[in-house]
Each structure stands twice: as structure tokens, then as C-alpha cells.
Amino acid sequence: MAATPFIYYVPGRHETHEEHAGVVLSRVGLRYYGRDITDEFLRQTFSRQIEVITSDIRNYMNENSLIIGRSFGGYLILHAVCGIGAYPGRILLINPMLGRYINKKQMCGIIPPRADLLFSLARSGEFPEIRSLTIAAGERDMQCPPDAAGKFVEVLDSDNTRLIVMPGQGHNPNEAELMNIILEHITLY
């Protein structure tokens, strides 16, 4: 591995950058910048949220950077990259929201703002180029199930995109699984 990349982390709704992947990044001694997705941030319009994330990404955007997004943070990152038009670095999304998801069997679902945009851009071939995009989905995740993540990866149809299914994990993977995914992703490149 050459130099350790600069890391930017965006967690899920109502989470700080010190939770979930932030714990792992700190434990292994990796420097990173994080954006809290707490009430203050969430009170802004979705458009303004995207503007903030876009600004963060532009400030740190280069081919050596690594963006990590979890859940709603992953959704924000993808929307920001769509506004930028391309991303020269690497992106790791952990159980990201990818848009509208309805599970009739479990009687649950998610319909976030601009719910159909990401799939629509991917289907039309207008989704921006990302040097490397990895989506890690928990096998038992009801919010970002592996089948939805797999469909997104399939629709993107890019050699630069891959799916990792985390066996036995739900929407909040355990720390050991997060550590494996993050360290594997960093050492792959």
C-alpha cells in the first residue's frame, strides 16, 4: 500500500462521525474528517444537505481520497457526486440507502427525497464516473438489503463497482465486520 488516503466519513441519520465506522477509523489510527448527520444538519432542506456534502467533497477531492458513507450518509454522498459529475477517488458505502425500497413481506419501506434519481441516472447511463465504488450490504439489512444493492451495482454496469455482502449482518454491522471491510478496502487500492 502506498500512502494512506485522506478519509471523509458521512454517517447515517441522527449519528455523529464518531459512531460506527468512525469508531473503527479511530481505533486503527486513521485520520479522517467527518460530518455529523444530527438534528441540526437534518433540519436543513435536502437540497441544502446535498450542498454541504458537495462542498465537503470538493474540498477534499483527489485520487488518493476515500469517502465512506453509511446508510443515509451514503445516499447523501451519491447525490452529491451526481451534482459534481464525476469522482476521481474511491467510495465505500456501508448499508447505503439507494432510493425507494418497499418490503411487502416485512411491511416496511423507505422513500427518501429524490427516491428514484440514482437508479434513473444509472439506467440512462448518466450516473457519474467514480474511480472505485464499493457497496457493503448486510445480509440481513432491511433498509439496504443486498438484493437492492446488487440491482444498483448491476444497473451501473461498471468494472469500477462491486458489492460485498456481509454475512449475518443487519443495518448496523458489528465492529469486527466494519473493521474488516474498511481495512480491506484501504489495502485493495
The tally of CA atoms less than 13 A away on the side-chain side of residue 33 is 12
Q: What are phi and psi of 10, to 5 degrees?
A: -120, 115
β partners of residue 70: 94
Q: If you search the block for the grid coordinates 441544502, which residue do you land on?
A: 48
- Residue pair 139/174 in contact (Cβ under 8 Å)? The answer is no
Residues 6+ apart with CB under 8 A from 154: none
- Tell me if the pTM is above 0.85: yes
**Looking at the domain that runs over 7-104+114-188, which CATH code has it been given?**
3.40.50.1820
Q: Is 4 helix (H, G, I), strand (E, B) or coil?
A: coil
> What is d(CA 107, CA 134) in angstroms, rounded to the nearest whole number?
28
Percentage of the chain modeled with pLDDT above 70: 92
- Average of per-residue pLDDT across 67-88: 94
In the predicted structure, residue 189 carries a pLDDT above the cut 60: no
Q: What is the pLDDT of residues 109-139, one digit of tens each?
A: 778 889 899 999 999 999 999 999 999 999 9
Q: How far apart are CA 108 and CA 62, in angstroms?
A: 38
- What pLDDT score does 28 carry? 85
pLDDT at 2: 45
Residue 96 CB coordination number (10 Å): 29
Phi-psi category of 165—alpha, beta or left, where left has phi over 0 and alpha has psi -120 to 50? beta
Higher pLDDT residue, 106 or 172? 172
Residue 145: the pLDDT is 83
CA distance 117 to 103: 19
The strand pair at 101-103 and 108-110 is best described as antiparallel
